[in-house]
Amino acid sequence: MKKSNRLNVLLAEIIIATLFFALASTVILKVYTVTHSQSILAEAGSTAQTEMRNLSEMCYAAEDAEAVLTEYGFVKSEDRYVYNSDDYTLSAVIETEKTAAGTLRTILFSAEVMGETGMSLPSARYFPEVTAQ
Amino acid sequence: MKREFHIGPGAASLILIIVILSLSVLSVMTLTNARGDERLTARSATVVEAIGNLNVRAEKTVAQLDEIFLRARQESGDSVSYIENIRGMLPQQMEMKENIVSWAETDEDGRKLCCSIEILPMERAERFARIEHRLSSEFAEMELEDIWN
């Protein structure tokens, strides 16, 4: 009789423990899910940023920035060049301004990570007009 | 003699508490780490954008300077008057030593982009050559002793 009572108490404790574990694991799982999505967002943001910096340098070095962007995989859409990746979208708007002594080319890169506009990177290069003496 | 192993009342609760505590601590640590990554990415994006803005401003200044050089070439007859004309046309915040023009682009966070260009002789088709484009911050310019104290 005494042994049976002890087993019942143990069984009840295990049932309560299992229920509590289920409840607690639901909360903990939720925290892990949020963490995972935050981690993916941060990684995608970091990758997009690195890509933008690389592109900015490549465009600065090149005389024909449009060719660089097209070669990279950008597609021209209205007034901007757009590059779609799985996690982020990069866009570049090229503007050229003629000055009295040359041309100033400005490119504004912006990244949209997981549907959110996150960061932008302006880049410019001045091309002096060489005049014959 | 064989000893029987019994699980007493409370053992399951104890194990449960340990498991839940461990999982909670690990999940909080992972969350903190992910938030740190996110903050770092956001901060890095701000810094990159600020540096990009400084670069753009520097290029715009180069464009303005080139206009000055072009105007000075049109108005000058020889190299001496060319350099003197440029000296007279330069904006106040710019420094000119011999044929080197230096200036700095700064932002509110203490970043400083030090730029210098060399004015090329009038005989050359190109009017200038970039010789310095260096980014520094107030922190980098502080003395080590100041940092430690």
**Residues from chain A contacting residue B125 (CB–CB below 8 Å):** 130-133
Buried b (16+ CB within 10 A) or exposed e, A10-28: beebeeebeeebeebeeeb
| CB-based contact B90:B68 (threshold 8 Å) | yes
Residue A132 confidence (pLDDT) above 80: no
- Chain A and chain B share a number of CB contacts under 8 A equal to 129
Q: Which residues in chain B have Cβ-Cβ distances shorter than 8 Å to A123?
A: 52, 55-56
Best residue in B19, B44, B48, B105 to probe A by mutation, most A CBs within 10 Å? B48
Question: ipTM above 0.90?
Answer: no
Q: Does A61 touch chain B (CB under 8 A)?
A: no
Answer yes or no: is pLDDT of A4 > 80. Answer: no
- Asked if the model's pLDDT at residue B1 lies above 90, the reply is no
Angle between helical axes of B11-75 and B79-89 (0-180°, round to 10): 130
Q: B124-139 pLDDT, tens per residue? A: 889 999 999 999 876 5
State the pLDDT confidence band at B140, using cuts at 50, 70 and 90.
low
Note the pLDDT of residue B145. 56
CB contact under 8 A, A17 and B31: no
Q: How far is A91 from chain B (nearest CA, A)?
A: 15
What rounded mean pLDDT belongs to chain A? 90
A87 vs B32, higher pLDDT: B32
- pLDDT range class, residue B147, cuts 50, 70, 90: low
pLDDT band, very low/low/confident/very high, at B65 (cuts 50, 70, 90):
very high
Mean pLDDT value across residues A93-122: 91
Rounded to the nearest 10°, the torsion over CA A65, A68, A71, A76 is: -30
| Residue B128 host element (H or E) | strand B128-137
The confidence band for A2, taking pLDDT boundaries of 50, 70 and 90, is: low
Q: Say which of A14, A32, A133 has its CB closest to residue B125.
A: A133
- pLDDT reported for residue B92: 84
Token match 């044929």: residue? B99
Q: How confident is the model at residue A60 (pLDDT cuts 50, 70, 90)?
A: very high
